[in-house]
């Protein structure tokens, strides 16, 4: 194939195959690195100065530390995250919403839940393993 005064050859043979392999491997690597592994999540809806919310926050942080890497924990405050309060129809704080790895709500709890009951529920939902 000729373009202007230069001869242009399509890449073929070993160099072309090597370049194609490299590009495919790079694409797969970048895609895998940018795609997070979905984990179950707990959304904790709270208010900044709510003492009951602080109590629940401590329980959640302890459980998250115990089962590190198995669940995602997100704290949402009414003053900063009001659209999510409306989206999830939260009218009481604290409220915990349990989302499966696909992001679907599978359980909801209002108020404080004990560490033991929380762990039982997470195991029943297959969110965590010992």
pLDDT in the model for residue 28: 41
Calculate the average pLDDT of the chain: 83
Mean pLDDT within 63-67: 97
* Per-domain residue ranges of the chain: 2-34, 41-124
CA-CA-CA-CA dihedral for 114, 59, 49, 99, to nearest 10? -90
Distance of CA 21 to the CA centre of its chain: 31
Distant-in-sequence, close-in-space partners of 8: CB < 8 Å, separation ≥ 6 = 1, 2
The listed CATH number (3.40.50.920, 1.10.260.40, 3.40.30.10, 2.40.240.10) that belongs to domain 41-124: 3.40.30.10
| pTM confidence score | 0.71
pLDDT in the model for residue 24: 44
pLDDT band at 15 (very low <50, low <70, confident <90, very high): low
Which position has the token pair 């033991």? 116
The tally of CA atoms less than 13 A away on the side-chain side of residue 8 is: 5
């Amino acid at each position: 194939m000729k373009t202007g005064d230069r001869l242009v050859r399509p890449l073929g043979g070993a160099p072309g195959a090597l370049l194609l392999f490299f590009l495919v491997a790079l694409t797969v690597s970048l895609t895998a690195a940018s795609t997070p592994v979905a984990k179950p999540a707990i959304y904790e809806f709270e208010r900044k100065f709510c003492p009951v919310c602080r109590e629940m926050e401590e329980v959640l942080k302890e459980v998250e530390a115990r089962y590190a890497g198995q669940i995602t924990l997100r704290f949402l405050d009414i003053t900063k995250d009001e659209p999510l309060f409306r989206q999830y129809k939260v009218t009481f704080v604290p409220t915990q919403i349990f989302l499966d790895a696909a992001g679907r709500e599978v359980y909801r709890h209002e108020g404080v839940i004990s560490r033991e009951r929380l762990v039982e529920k997470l195991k029943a939902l297959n969110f965590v393993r010992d």
